[in-house]
Structure 1
Amino acid sequence: MNITYIIGTVVAFAVMIVGMMQGGTDGFITISQLGNFIDPASIFIVIGCTFAVLVASFPISALAAVPKHFATIMNNKKYDPMAIIDKLVDLAQVARKNGLLALEEKGNQETDPFFKQCIMLIVDNNDADQAKEIMMNDIEQSVARHEDGAGMYEKASAVAPAFGMVGTLVGLINMLKAMDVESGGGDLGPAMATALVTTLYGCVLAHMIFGPIATQLRRRDEEETLCKLIIVEGIMSIQSGANPKFLREKLLTFMGQKQRDGAGAGKKGGGGGE
């Protein structure tokens, strides 16, 4: 589970709510202060218009993928480069002992579709350049799809403050209308509240909800892309007959130094040989 995302989001809302409850006439924190920040008209304008713009800008398939996006964000251990490196080293050992055709069974057991596809490409004895082209094209298309998903939340992050300003204009117009001297004036409070609270709602949606989601989706995309690049490099090295020990060292260059040191310590601690 993505603890940092949960903690950050909860703390941000908690701090904002505590701030809203301060500033009463007695100087103490009062729950009644929260009522000042609830305005149905503002909610209707900002949330309703933002959602409507997303519907107008993206296909239904993109909007239907929202639950999948949240599942991706919350799964913090979906991509494990070290586990992939270990699998590739094992495949290299099998290939050196029994040949590339012996990898077909391993490929059929693989649950990751991309990993399985890459294994089968070299089992089928495809040309190395053509096989790599297919793998890299798969990665490029995957990145493009993920960018479309993150772009939807980025679009919402840009639109929400804009409709916050629209709500502000609506509130100011109503306030000015209420100041008509001939009609005897009116209650300016509700109109002014709508004018200000809509801006608040727009900022909250943009920077506390949609912005972090877009950032998290891009981080997951980077993690997945790294794992796929490791797979491509490992599979191409296996096809060329790379030594398993050399392959491990080569693939570890994709990792940070701290991760490499941890992998080396774990390998020594395990006491297992090749």
Structure 2
Amino acid sequence: MDRASIGGIALALLGIIIGQSIDGGKLSSLLQLSAFIIVICGTFGAVLLQSTLKNFNAAFHKLRFVFFEPINHRPEIASILLEWSQIARKEGTLHLEPIMEETTDPFIKKALRLVVDGATPNTIREIGVIELNQYEMSERNAIKVWDSAGGYSPTIGILAAVIGLIHVMENLSDPSLIGGGIAIAFVSTIYGVGLANLIFIPIANKLKTILQDELANYEMLIDGLAGIANGDHTIVLEDRVSSYLQ
């Protein structure tokens, strides 16, 4: 469980609740189902229109990483690279083939196959960078869903507020309904701005940070496997991968 994410949301909600109650405001005045439905459905409807269904589903699939921090596998990857280096230097790169066949990660499998097939270090780096760029583009397209939601949400909130004011204008003959109608209109704006700045944009930024860490893992793999293909000594490779662990 990522305590920072849970604590951040809790702190934001607590601040809103306390701030509302200090001046005698009621929490119930901030709970307007109709405004919430308009903002949520309008926001994700607009996002779905600009995105593909694949990216939309991937964005929600990644949501779990915001609250359950991914395990840092970088030290483990560094140790494995050093082990592969020793095998390659003592027995030859062909002895990495059984490891390649057992690997389930398609990126690692392809990179190991290049090493086993005797590709040059430059070729391994070039192909690895291409694969990594494609992967990064795919991941950022999914994260963009949350970025876009943060952009659309405030505008949809204003739209919901205008709809609420229309209802107010329709009931000018009944003064008792005017105050409540205006309150609902302003709550819609709160939902739009609040969801954007307290939920959607922070989620997008958190996922970007997680992606950067993941990309660094693959960069270390590319660099390490290129070094193995080049025949670098294990000590040299250890110095190289240690830079990624700092």
Q: TM-score, normalised by structure 2?
A: 0.91
Q: 2:30 and 2:69 mapped to 1: Cα distance?
A: 34
Give the match for residue 88 of structure 2. 95
Q: State the Cα deviation string for residues 103-161 of structure 1 (Å, max 9, x = none).
A: 11222333433222211211012243333222111100111011111111010001111
* Residues 56-75 of structure 1 mapped to structure 2, 5 A cutoff: 56-75=49-68
Percent of pairs identical after alignment? 25
Q: Which residue of 125, 130, 138 corresponds with 1:145? A: 138
- SS for the counterpart of 1:242 is coil
Instruction: Give the residue type in structure 2 aligned to 1:36.
Output: S
Contact kept? 2:85, 2:234, Cα under 8 Å = yes
Give the match for residue 193 of structure 1. 183
**Structure ID, larger Rg:** 1
Q: 1:135 and 1:114 mapped to 2: Cα distance?
A: 8
> How far is 1:20 from its partner?
2.6
User: Is 1:76 paired with 2:66?
Assistant: no
Give the match for residue 23 of structure 2. 23
Q: State the Cα deviation string for residues 146-204 of structure 1 (Å, max 9, x = none).
A: 1111111010001111111112222334334444xxx4756211220122101110122
Q: Which residue of 149, 154, 172 corresponds with 2:147? A: 154
**Which shifted more, 233-242 or 191-200?**
191-200
Q: 2:110 and 2:234 mapped to 1: Cα distance?
A: 21
Q: Tell me, which stretches of 5 or more residues in structure 2 are unaligned?
A: none
Q: 1:36 and 1:215 mapped to 2: Cα distance?
A: 31
Contact kept? 2:115, 2:229, Cα under 8 Å = yes
CA-based RMSD: 2.0
Q: Which residue of 212, 236, 245 corresponds with 2:226? A: 236
Change (3 A) 1:184 1:79: closer
Q: 2:163 and 2:155 mapped to 1: Cα distance?
A: 13
Instruction: Give the residue type in structure 2 aligned to 1:100.
Output: T
Give the match for residue 51 of structure 1. 44
Q: 2:164 and 2:116 mapped to 1: Cα distance?
A: 67
| Greater RCO (Cα-Cα under 8 Å, separation 6 or more) | 2
> How far is 1:3 from its partner?
2.1
Instruction: Give the residue type in structure 2 aligned to 1:46.
Output: V
User: Is 1:252 paired with 2:242?
Assistant: yes
Q: Which residue of 86, 96, 102 corresponds with 2:79? A: 86
Give the match for residue 121 of structure 2. 128
Q: Which residue of 89, 105, 109 corresponds with 2:102? A: 109
* Residues 201-240 of structure 1 mapped to structure 2, 5 A cutoff: 201-240=191-230
Instruction: Give the residue type in structure 2 aligned to 1:17.
Output: I
Instruction: Give the residue type in structure 2 aligned to 1:89.
Output: L
- SS for the counterpart of 2:62 is helix
Q: Which residue of 159, 172, 187 corresponds with 2:165? A: 172
Contact kept? 2:157, 2:190, Cα under 8 Å = yes
Instruction: Give the residue type in structure 2 aligned to 1:221.
Output: L
Contact kept? 2:66, 2:206, Cα under 8 Å = yes
- SS for the counterpart of 1:162 is helix
Q: TM-score, normalised by structure 1?
A: 0.82
Contact kept? 1:168, 1:199, Cα under 8 Å = yes
Q: 2:148 and 2:122 mapped to 1: Cα distance?
A: 38
- SS for the counterpart of 2:113 is helix
> How far is 1:88 from its partner?
0.7
Contact kept? 1:91, 1:103, Cα under 8 Å = yes
Q: 1:21 and 1:48 mapped to 2: Cα distance?
A: 29
Change (3 A) 1:20 1:166: same
